[in-house]
A and B are shown apart, each in its own frame.
Chain A
Amino acid sequence: MKLLTLNFLTCARKTCKSLPAAFPLHPKDAELEVVETDFNAPFLRNILGRLEWDALKTLCMELGLPNLPPSAPEPEALLEPGAEMAELELERELEPTQTARDLHNLLLETGIKEGKLVCGNCGHEYAVKEGIANFLLPSHLV
């Protein structure tokens, strides 16, 4: 389960879902893996504005990963200066910045392979096995 996906996940219980305490889920006994993927500038730029940056910072801290800057980088910081932002075709040829590479590595290459995700509100634990998280609930939590 990649760290980017975790930024979009909260507790599956209806009573928790809208509560701030249920997001983000907290990793427990997490075994991390890094799987290399192709750098994808259009996607990274598109997704940047949809991230909850504070939740990402919390997650990095809880996983013992290096601290993130206080706020999300601007889309312009992803490509070397002088890049034509409007032209996707040109963009592929341009070099991503170190900021972009770090973000790609964190969001799209780093993931939880084994472990648990814990709701900060109800304490329910969701298991992650072989990178696949299970959000099914027992009937007393439905």
Chain B
Amino acid sequence: MLEYLIRFSQIHESFRKPELEALASFHGIDLEVLKYEENSPFCTVRLVSEKAAYTLISRSILAHAIYELWGVGTDYPSLHADVHARTASKSASYKDSSFRFTIDSYQGKRNSTAQRSLIESFKYFGFKGPITMNGAELQLCIFEDYEQKAEEPFMIYLGRLITGSQRQFMDKYNLKKRRYISTTSFDSELALVTANITHAAAGKLFYDPFMGTGSFPIACAHFGAMTVGSDIDSRSIRGKKNRNVLSNFHQYGLTSHLLDNFISDLTHTPLRVSRCLDGIICDPPYGVREGLKVLGKRGGGGEEVVMIGDKPAHLQEGYLAPKKPYSFNAMLDDILEFSAKMLVDNGRLSMWMPTAAEDIELGIPSHPWLQLVSVCVQPFNKWARRLLTYRRLPEAEIDQSIIIQRREYERDGTADELNAFRKKYFEGFKEI
């Protein structure tokens, strides 16, 4: 087993380890995390080979790159001592390679004179190859980790670059450059991370039942999955001429990964019950920016066919099916039940769920056929949204003694009565 250094971005901290672990389990890589802290971008891991290191990080979004660890220390003398111990056999094989040295200081700064002298302190390697700024065969980086406002770093690493990640793609999919978006379009960085955590990949079929403008299907398609999406709002799928979900797939050259989009409500889904989906990703409506609604008539009734003239209204052009407010908890349970029935063994569900900051420890919905894999939190000021990821258990792993019981919900009522989060949101998250 060998030691490697992962350089993370210092953002979305609670998503970094779940993404790393999801990539390891996706590729079947044994991952041992040696040192990881939420307040540092440097993480050390033990892996079986350089190939495993390459595979692990090459499709990561929250990591920048992975390095073979050539040394670690709390100051430069201890770093140099560790470099001697670790690289005695390695550095000689790079004697004539083109090379490049860089310095990456987190929360710290070195002027160019100081940088040069630090780099020159490694001249005992005796590299004779040319110094190349682009595409050098050997790329070494000195990493310095500083406490805020500290003069000197408290931890220093030396690493040899193995591979970068796919972090640059968050820019390609940036919403600012996407032709068709709405108020609920999902930020490209976290959409790609969600696709990674859910194991989107070539050959797989992924479904988003609340697709909106298609943020998640696009992220899944980027990783090679075939995608299907639906939404209760026909306008969000159809958009306008040349600006719609299909045009977004065109923009990114991903149309071969778009199977279909259709208009439907999850509580009345037309998908036949079968284990046909490899992954489900959704950001369900919170009822704040968009209504939380299902098919049906508010207050009941509506059992008779509505006629316009002598023709039934629902068979006429431009008919809009009536919708009623829906309980937020009922929706979460419906998503789990749907996923439990539709996912293949070990298929994953990732669902975004908003919570008032004061309720952050409260209920994560559960289903006996689904195992919670990870919980990530994106904090905002007074509320947060969580990414919940589940794995569909193979039949043999399901505890058959658990009886599936649905919670009881309010059947009818106003949007506020059915959705505590919405109510708190508009009351400014005061204590009730």
Contacts and interface: CB of A to CB of B under 8 A. Distances in A.
A4 interface: yes
B85 interface: no
Contact of A38 (B204, B256, B264, B268): B256
B321 A43 contact: no
B270 A10 contact: yes
Contacts of A138: 305-306, 312-314, 319, 321-322
Most central of A125, A131, A140 by chain B CB within 10 Å:
A140
B270 A50 contact: no
B259 A4 contact: yes
Bin chain B's interface residue count. Answer: 35 or more
Contact of B263 (A2, A125, A132, A142): A132
A140 B315 contact: no
B295 A46 contact: no
B108 interface: no
Contacts of B319: 138
B297 interface: yes
Contacts of A140: 302-306
Bin chain A's interface residue count. Answer: 35 or more
A130 to B, nearest CB: 7
Interface in A112-140: 125-126, 130-140
Contacts of A42: 202-203
A101 interface: no
A46 to B, nearest CB: 5
Interface string B254-267: 01100111111100
Given A8-B272, A14-B268, A136 B232 contact: yes
Given A139-B322, A140-B305, A37 B203 contact: no
B140 interface: no
Nearest to B226: A43
Given A37-B255, A142-B296, 12 more contacts: A5-B260, A8-B276, A9-B271, A37-B256, A42-B202, A45-B203, A46-B203, A126-B270, A132-B263, A136-B232, A137-B295, A139-B297
Interface of A: 1-2, 4-5, 8-14, 17-18, 23, 37-38, 40, 42-43, 45-47, 50, 88, 108, 111, 125-126, 130-142
11 contacts: A8-B272, A9-B272, A11-B270, A14-B268, A38-B256, A50-B274, A108-B259, A126-B270, A131-B260, A139-B301, A140-B302
